Amino acid sequence: MGKLVVFSAPSGAGKTSVVNGLLSLRNDLMFSVSATSRDMRPGEIDGKNYYFISPDEFRSKIDKQDFVEWEEVYAGSYYGTLKSELERIWNQNCHVLFDVDVKGGVRLKELFAKDTLAIFIAPPSLEVLEQRLRGRNTESEESLAKRLGKAKWEMEFSSKFDYVVVNDDLSLTIEKVNALISDFLAS
């Protein structure tokens, strides 16, 4: 069994950019594709961005205990990690890299304590986070307010992670977390 590297962060903190940067640097990590019941967005690919399944199928998989962890992140929108996804990656002799919400990250750390490195990517401030989210031009004022409220709540979980890394410079953040991962995998 390989190890797990878990990233969580509020939306807009740069977590996905950090994960993508690491995946371009390392061949010993593979991205864990999460399952979700939400609709596919333009440009997303089933099996690459997410495994897109219906809410009914998601609930059926919960009942069958097919998930390592799962969460109803927004009402009716489920996200989770299938056990089969871990097996797929470990069968390729790689370690699993996760990009999950804070509850999923905490849950994975609880389940695989000594084999998990949990890193929380924090924005420099909530003001910077708001600027980043506004810069995407994908949010209405209502959804922006919801995301910022959720971000404040998510920040409260940061102490449950092994490291909190403030992403104020993407290349330095990638360099720092890459070093943390190298140390962890060597131990």
Give pLDDT tens digits for 65-108: 999 999 887 788 999 999 999 999 999 999 999 998 898 899 99
d(CA 154, CA 71): 14
d(CA 153, CA 132): 18
The whole-number pLDDT of residue 109 equals 96
Query: Within the chain, which residues score under 70 in pLDDT?
Result: none
The whole-number pLDDT of residue 140 equals 82
Q: Where are the domains of the chain?
A: 4-186
The whole-number pLDDT of residue 15 equals 92
Fold of 4-186: Rossmann fold (3.40.50)
Phi, psi of 121, deg, nearest 5:
-95, 120
The whole-number pLDDT of residue 27 equals 96
Label the pairing between strands 77-82 and 67-74: antiparallel
The whole-number pLDDT of residue 18 equals 97
The whole-number pLDDT of residue 150 equals 87
Contact criterion met (CB below 8 Å) for 116 and 184: no
For residue 5, give both structure tokens: 């590297």
Give kind and range of the element (H or E) at residue 31. strand 29-31
The whole-number pLDDT of residue 76 equals 84
The whole-number pLDDT of residue 12 equals 80
Q: pTM for the complete prediction? A: 0.88
